[in-house]
Amino acid sequence: RKHEETNNENLNKDFCDFLSELAQFEKNVSRNIHKYNAYRKASATLAVHPTRITSGAEAKKLPNIGDKIAKKIDEFLQTGKLQKLENIHKDERSQAISLLTRVSGIGPSKAQKLVEKGISNLDDLKKHSDLLNHHQIIGLKYFNDFEQKIPRSEIKEIEKVIKKKIKKIDVKYEINICGSYSFCLFPNRRGKAESGDIDTLVTHPNYTSKNPDKAHIDSVLKTIVRKLTNCGLITETLSLGETKFMGACQLKSDLPMRRLDIRFQPYDQYYCSLLYFTGSDVFNQNMRSHALEQGFTLNEYTLRPLGCTGVPGEPVEITCEEEIFDVINYPYKSPEERNN
């Protein structure tokens, strides 16, 4: 398999690490989504750069790296650290918010509110479970489990169970495990890929957005979740709607609980969903901006042309992923190449 042969060592991993940490800080503490995106994109650029960067000036020639990040690279090269991160590490409020956002279901805004109530660690949080919803309570319960990366081999096993159980309901279901499993996000030398969760996309030719059998669609995902719960794979439901399930699963009792996402999408929107759910998120952002430049709006459901007034027209009919790239004149990239 291609991903297992990939031998791209990230020669700029130390830069990527501090950029990712800065990104997380901007997202969770400062809540500056623009800076978050800037750091994420810079990190993604450096992660695939084939040579070791030796100066900020050299980095600045690459896409997504401007003056400020170039300066940080110089500072890191000269001092081995970043003063900005040193300061963040010393700041108790920042540390508390960062920790709490690692609980599944707790976002930056909730974390901030909790910290304002004097909650700064997981023990405090356990004592105040009255302030948490069901998702957050389960997120706290399985904090350590959910933090552990899932080996590719385990996802393969879970994939088999999911496919078998869903196909048993109806063989016409199409099931795809997407997200970071679909490619190697940051392949290491041994090609061991790991994922944060399991992203499952499900569709069925009888369900299209034009012919929505409302009542029936409503029961589809619930039936799937019930079957997967009854067979012991799904252990917790965090949220369950018509098209989106968030929960936990466990392959064997001696393995950690894993985060499982399932999406049920109409057949005619399947390829836009597949593209979206395959990611990465940075890749999606870049592709969407390119689509806009070409006069199209792309989201997880449809690709639509923008009229001169900027109003989206009827969705373009899409029958495979490649077609989406074609329509917006974007060079095709296989999932392995969609890291940024």
- Choice between 197 and 268, CB closer to Mn ion: 197
Could you count the other beta carbons within 10 Å of the beta carbon of residue 52?
12
Which residues 160-179 are close enough to bind ligand DCP by CB under 6 A?
Answer: 179
Catalytic residue, candidates 27, 41, 72, 165? 72
Report DSSP letters for 55-103, one per residue.
-HHHHHTSTT--HHHHHHHHHHHHHSS-HHHHHHHH-HHHHHHHHHTTS
Question: Residue 35 catalytic?
Answer: no
- The reply on whether position 236 binds Mg ion by CB under 5 A is no
- Choice between 46 and 193, CB closer to Mg ion: 193
- What residues does 192 pair with on adjacent strands? none
Applying CB under 6 A, among 248, 276, 303, 318 the residue interacting with ligand DCP is 276
Which residues 161-180 are close enough to bind Mg ion by CB under 5 A?
Answer: 179
- The reply on whether position 197 binds Mn ion by CB under 5 A is yes
Please identify the residue of the shown chain whose CB is closest to the bound ligand DCP. Answer: 279
- The reply on whether position 335 binds Mg ion by CB under 5 A is no
Applying CB under 6 A, among 154, 199, 236, 268 the residue interacting with ligand DCP is 199
- Choice between 196 and 305, CB closer to Mg ion: 196
Q: How far apart are CA 46 and CA 107, in angstroms?
A: 27
Q: How far apart are CA 340 and CA 333, in angstroms?
A: 10
- The reply on whether position 280 binds ligand DCP by CB under 6 A is yes
Which residues 187-216 are close enough to bind Mg ion by CB under 5 A?
Answer: 197, 199
When CB distances are held under 5 to 8 angstroms depending on the partner's kind, the choice from Mn ion, ligand DCP, Mg ion, none that residue 335 binds is none
Q: What b/e sequence results for 248-268 when a residue is b if at least 16 CB atoms lie within 10 Å of its CB, and e otherwise?
A: bbbbeeebbbbbbbbbbbbbb
- Choice between 154 and 199, CB closer to Mn ion: 199
DSSP-assigned letter for residue 305: E
Please identify the residue of the shown chain whose CB is closest to the bound Mg ion. Answer: 179
- Choice between 213 and 332, CB closer to ligand DCP: 332
- The reply on whether position 284 binds ligand DCP by CB under 6 A is yes
Q: How far apart are CA 142 and CA 39, in angstroms?
A: 29
Q: How far apart are CA 115 and CA 137, in angstroms?
A: 17
- The reply on whether position 271 binds ligand DCP by CB under 6 A is no
- The reply on whether position 154 binds Mg ion by CB under 5 A is no
Q: CB–CB of 61/53 below 8 Å?
A: no
Say how far residue 13 (Cα) sits from the centre of its chain. 20
Applying CB under 6 A, among 234, 277, 302, 304 the residue interacting with ligand DCP is 277
Beta-carbon contacts of 17 under 8 Å, excluding residues fewer than 6 positions away, are none
Residue 298 burial by CB count (10 A; 0-12/13-18/19+): exposed, middle or buried? buried
- The reply on whether position 197 binds ligand DCP by CB under 6 A is yes
- Choice between 59 and 136, CB closer to ligand DCP: 136
What count of Cα atoms within 13 Å lies in the side-chain half-sphere of residue 182?
21
Q: How far is the CB of 298 from Mg ion (least distance, A)?
A: 20
- The reply on whether position 281 binds ligand DCP by CB under 6 A is yes
- Choice between 64 and 280, CB closer to ligand DCP: 280
Look up residue 141 and give its two tokens: 């319960």
Binding-residue pattern over the window 177 to 196 for ligand DCP, x denoting contact by CB under 6 A: --xx--------------xx
Q: How far apart are CA 27 and CA 112, in angstroms?
A: 12
Q: Which residues bind ligand DCP (CB under 6 A)?
A: 179-180, 195-197, 199, 276-277, 279-281, 284
Q: Which residues bind Mg ion (CB under 5 A)?
A: 179, 197, 199
Q: Any idea which residues carry the catalytic annotation? A: 72
